[in-house]
Amino acid sequence: MKQAEKEDYLQNYDLLKKRGKPFFPYAVLKDASMMLVVFVVVAVMAIVLGAEQGPKADPTTTTYVPRPEWYFFFLFEVLRVLKPPWLVPIATVGIPTVAIVLLLLLPFYDRNAERRPERRPIAMIAAVMSISAMAYLTFLGASAGTPTEIDQPAPPGTEAGLQVAAQSGCLACHKIGENGNDGPGPELTEIGDMLPRAAIARSLQVGPAIMPSYAELPPKKFDDLTAYLAALNGNE
């Protein structure tokens, strides 16, 4: 921004300010009304929606599908879009970091003196695209299923493992046949063909990348689960 543009702005602002009204009581009244609206909205939500308490946290089971709060969906869903393991750090750290830096430095690279939205086409297009992307990803996150049933026969002899897989919330991040969500984790439909049982067990214990570790499952359940996954070969 050039010096002349700065002076121009300050002068114009000064004129507008001279014709303005004092903060008290005019702006204060508006602010207070808005605060009242906020209070009523929060209180009504608290009364109507309440504060439900789920079952107590239990590291030995994952009977709950891990989901973030809705306002983190747009970040979490990036993981579904960028699924390959080598892209995971880009989705988890790279993209949010770039977004934050772009946001922080906005006034320093947008040096256009124009303030009217209709005369800032690039800024407006960028903003509308960012907002649409965030809204779309939030919608994806909100509409992602949280199924705890696997509607597909287990390979013979591994029915118990199918139950464990369903209860443990695998489908929140993995797909088995037609069930579950496609990401952030890889599809498990043919995982038995791709990995030996020992490797599957190791993955469950370690929890690669962002996956939680299942090492705390009771040994019987853990064995059932690995047997089931190792038997998945895509043939039903």
Partner 1 sequence: MPKLPVPAPLRRPSKPGEGGNGASSNGTEGGPGGGAMEQAKHGAAEGASGVAGWLDERSGATGFLTGMLFRKVPKGTNWFYTLGSATMFAFAIQAITGVFLAMYYTPSATQAYESITHLTNDVFLGEFVRGMHKWGASVMIILVFLHMGRTFFFGAYKYPRELNWVIGVVLLILTMVMGLTGYLLPFDQRSFWATVVANNITATGPVVGPYLADFLRAGPEFAATTISRFYAIHMLLVPGLIAALIGAHLYLVVKLGTTAPPWLKGEKPKSLRREEVG
Of 12-31, binders to partner 1 (CB under 8 A) are 12-28, 30-31
3-state secondary structure of 233: coil
Residue 81 and residue 136: Cα distance in Å, rounded? 12
In angstroms, give the least distance from the CB of 226 to partner 1: 20
Q: Contact letters (x/-) for partner 1, 135-164, by CB under 8 A?
A: ------------------------------
Question: Which residues within the stretch 182-201 sit at the binding site for partner 1 (CB under 8 A)?
Answer: none
How many Å is the Cα radius of gyration of the chain? 26
Report the half-sphere exposure of 234 (CA within 13 A, side-chain side): 5
With beta carbons less than 8 A apart as the criterion, state whether 169 and 65 touch. yes
Residue at 19: amino acid letter: R
Residue 9 or 233: the one with the smaller Cβ distance to partner 1 is 9
Residue 76 or 228: the one with the smaller Cβ distance to partner 1 is 76
Give the interface size with partner 1 as a residue count (CB under 8 A). 87
In angstroms, give the least distance from the CB of 188 to partner 1: 17
Residue 97's φ and ψ, nearest 5 degrees, are: -65, -45
In angstroms, give the least distance from the CB of 221 to partner 1: 16
In angstroms, give the least distance from the CB of 133 to partner 1: 14
Report the half-sphere exposure of 225 (CA within 13 A, side-chain side): 26
| Tokens coding 151 | 């509607």
Q: Which residues of 106-142 are buried (b: 16+ CB within 10 A; e: fewer)?
A: eeeeeeeeeeeeeeeeeeeeeeeeeeeebeebbebbe
Q: Which of 81, 114, 145, 193 binds partner 1 (CB under 8 A)?
A: 114
Residue 6 and residue 103: Cα distance in Å, rounded? 22
In angstroms, give the least distance from the CB of 165 to partner 1: 15
Question: Which residues within the stretch 23-82 sit at the binding site for partner 1 (CB under 8 A)?
Answer: 23-28, 30-31, 33-35, 37-39, 41-43, 45-47, 49-51, 53-59, 62-72
Question: Which residues within the stretch 165-184 sit at the binding site for partner 1 (CB under 8 A)?
Answer: 169
**E strands of 74-178, at which residues?**
175-176
In angstroms, give the least distance from the CB of 60 to partner 1: 11
